[in-house]
Amino acid sequence: MRHTLSALALLAGTLSAQANEFAPAMQNYLDTEIMGWAQSEAIVAAIIAQNARTGSFDQATIDQLDSAWRSEVGTSNTPTIEPVMTNPASDYLRQQVESAGGMITEVFIMDAQGLNVAASNITSDYWQGDEAKFQKTYSLGAGASHLGDVEFDESTQTYQGQISITIVDPASGEPIGAMTVGVDAEALL
């Protein structure tokens, strides 16, 4: 295991200077596995409900919530984190992680502001709107996807690649949020 992690660390370091060599495997996993459940009713309903609550938030409010989330990570008092982690959509995401047999390390969904709606694991921050996983999906509309480089992820303590996609309202076809799925790099080999 230590040898595999060392090899992954070396590989991850070289990938940042090259094209993402894991991209074909990640795209295949997106097409064959993730897309089958990505637009589930649980995910879509949770995003629509949160968009109704957060749609008018300004950047100061978003920054305040993100700061509160970050200060709660690793503590027992988590009033900002708890609603995200204990909702039915988070339960659904944890079921997808469990069903993936170790392939998925984490999955989380974001609203139209880039705020976490639900997650299988606690993320290091609440606002994803300033990151490529959100900017290269939701902002680009329906059908957009982003395959991140393989990197060490602090929240899951694994080398993973992140696969992110736009989530759309099936009734209107309009983007409503995004989803990121962390995929174990060792499983991609």
Note down the domain range covering 40: 2-13+22-188
Tell me which residue of 20, 14, 49, 18 sits closest to 145, measured CA to CA: 20
Q: If you average pLDDT over residues 41-67, what whole number do you get? A: 98
Domain containing 143 — which CATH number?
3.30.450.20
Residue 11 pLDDT > 80: no
Higher pLDDT, 32 or 13: 32
| Predicted model pTM | 0.88
Q: How many domains does the chain have?
A: 1
Number of other residues whose CB lies within 10 A of the CB of residue 170: 11
Instruction: Name the β-bridge partners of 160.
Output: 151, 184
Confidence band, pLDDT 50/70/90 cuts, at residue 19: low
3-class DSSP state of 40: coil
The pLDDT, as a whole number, for residue 14 is 42
Summarize pLDDT for 141-183 with one digit per residue, the tens.
Answer: 999 999 999 988 887 788 899 999 999 999 999 999 999 999 9
DSSP string, 118-151: EESS--S-SB-TTSHHHHTTGGG-TT-EEEPPPE
**Whole-number mean pLDDT of the chain?**
90
Distance, CA of 118 to CA of 98 (rounded, Å): 16
Number of other residues whose CB lies within 10 A of the CB of residue 104: 24
CB 148 within 8 A of CB 88: no
Summarize pLDDT for 97-130 with one digit per residue, the tens.
Answer: 999 999 999 999 999 999 999 999 999 999 999 9
The pLDDT, as a whole number, for residue 188 is 80
